[in-house]
Amino acid sequence: MLALALIASRVDYCNSILYRVPAVHVRPLQLVLNAAARFVVKKRRFDHITATIRDELHWLPVRQRITYKLCWLVYKCLHLMAPIYLSEMCVPVSNIATRERLRSATRGDLAVPTAKTTSYGLRTFSAAGPSCWNSLHADIRGLPSINQFCCRLKTELFRQGYAGALPS
């Protein structure tokens, strides 16, 4: 528990900045998470760890952890459990007068602001959060409690992260 608390908190720090970064920048974080998992389950340095992380520890890969934290924060923003300055960045399309009749407004999508720079602008919370939220299924977005939301979101991201590795 101590290893998870110390290491995962550092891996999860500033997740929106890591959204949509090239794999070369995410890989070192995944290696740190793998090393922590080896330490927790007392495996040797070169032992394969993916199955252990998936089956025993139930940890998400780093890319999915980033998506999880962003969606979790957006959920909190939409349900008034986050600071106001963050909540103001999550604007439903239906609240925008010129877009209220669009299909995205009826689906409950959030407005993704246009970015001035393609490399950094899309990774800010104001763009990354709504974009992650819009990629979720409607049945996950509409869950009434945060516990149900987190559980279903983790299950979905777990399925995505280990798509080719899950046993049948």
**Is there a single domain that holds both residue 70 and residue 144?**
yes
Query: Domain count of the chain?
Result: 2
Express each pLDDT in 143-153 by its tens digit.
Answer: 999 999 999 99
pLDDT digit string, tens, across residues 48-105: 888 888 888 888 999 999 999 999 999 999 999 999 999 999 988 887 777 777 777 6
Bridge partner list, 110: 92
Q: Is residue 168 part of a domain?
A: no
Q: How far apart are CA 59 and CA 166, in angstroms?
A: 14
Last residue of a domain, one of 19, 41, 63: 63
Q: Is 118 helix (H, G, I), strand (E, B) or coil?
A: coil
Give the residue numbers spanning the domain of 18: 2-63
Q: Are residues 76 and 149 in the same domain?
A: yes
Is 166 a member of any domain?
Answer: no
111 neighbors 93 (Cβ within 8 angstroms): yes
Q: Are residues 13 and 77 in the same domain?
A: no
Do 73 and 138 lie in one domain? The reply is: yes
Q: Do 58 and 77 fall into the same domain?
A: no
Q: What is the pTM of this model?
A: 0.86
Q: Are residues 58 and 70 both part of a single domain?
A: no
pLDDT at 50: 85
Same domain, 151 and 71: yes
